[in-house]
Amino acid sequence: MSRVLPGFGLSLGYTLVYLSLLVLIPLGGLVLKAGTLTLAEFWQIATTEQAMASYRVTFGASFAAAVINAFFGLIVAWVLVRYPFPGKSLVDAFVDLPFALPTAVAGITLATLYAGNGWIGRHLEPLGIKVAYTPYGIVVALAFVTLPFIVRTLQPVIEDIEPEVEEAAASLGASRWLTFTRIILPAIFPALLTGFTLAFSRAIGEFGSVIFIAGNLPMVSEITPLLIIAKLEQQDVVGATALAVVMLVISFVMLLTINALQWWAANRHKGRAA
């Protein structure tokens, strides 16, 4: 049977080569390098107290940042889609800034702002809140970096909800809150989950902005990527790859889980796909 669309063989071959060169071979090499360790050695490097603390900081802060953005990013997306106001396109453009700005610049700026004598930190310190050079600082930096992912994923989906659907709910006697929880949230939930996933995985890999604001105290505010670099600087390449493999596996499992969740959310209503 001949296909209607030509070029299947060529484009698939290209896709495989491209993915191999960029993703599969480097990651395979990583696993291979880590494979020079025995299982016991690997386990010993991967589970040192310092490493465990860094996983907690990395994944914990990433998760927190993604959750915070899921909430506030939703509000930003909602406002940008639903309400006309002067300067809207300018505000819309601001959302993309974290994409474009070098993350190190963002990290230094945030660290300066949130430091004890910074513009914002100055007002937080009397309240007993320290942000810069603590795990909170990491969350702030990650929230900054990941905001566009959630806003940009939600915007088209919110645009897709006809205002009539909300009017219908109102005419049936539903309050604003019920309309939101029963009508709007279920409609945007799959997109929210997608945005969350993107933000979360981006946050796990973030390095540049975090190291400037984190303070990098071992056991407290040291992220795994930094630990890997520290090991590389000590010429401990095998140890670094061991940690990298751990991150790779955890990230992969998480992405897989969230993908499954997403698939479930999108297909809950078989009709939606049509």
Residues that bind other proteins (CB under 8 A): 162, 164-165, 167-175, 178, 182-183, 186-187, 268-272, 274
> What's the closest the beta carbon of residue 272 comes to other proteins, in angstroms?
6
> What's the closest the beta carbon of residue 195 comes to other proteins, in angstroms?
18
> What's the closest the beta carbon of residue 174 comes to other proteins, in angstroms?
4
> What's the closest the beta carbon of residue 166 comes to other proteins, in angstroms?
9
Nearer to other proteins, 124 or 265 (CB): 265
> What whole-number distance in Å separates Cα of residue 28 and Cα of residue 45?
20
Nearer to other proteins, 159 or 167 (CB): 167
Nearer to other proteins, 154 or 223 (CB): 154
Nearer to other proteins, 3 or 270 (CB): 270
> What's the closest the beta carbon of residue 4 comes to other proteins, in angstroms?
26
> What's the closest the beta carbon of residue 157 comes to other proteins, in angstroms?
12
Closest to 76 in 3D by CA, of 192, 214, 247: 192
> What whole-number distance in Å separates Cα of residue 169 and Cα of residue 181?
11
Give the up-direction half-sphere exposure of residue 209: CA atoms within 13 A in the CB hemisphere.
Answer: 27
Please say whether the dihedral angle defined by the alpha carbons of residues 164, 168, 169 and 175, taken in this order, is positive or negative.
positive
> What whole-number distance in Å separates Cα of residue 158 and Cα of residue 82?
8
The distance from CA 191 to its chain's CA centroid, rounded to whole angstroms, is: 14
Closest to 61 in 3D by CA, of 224, 217, 230, 198: 224
Nearer to other proteins, 126 or 271 (CB): 271
The helix, strand and coil proportions of the chain, stated in percent and rounded to the nearest 5, come to 80, 0, 20
> What whole-number distance in Å separates Cα of residue 138 and Cα of residue 206?
10
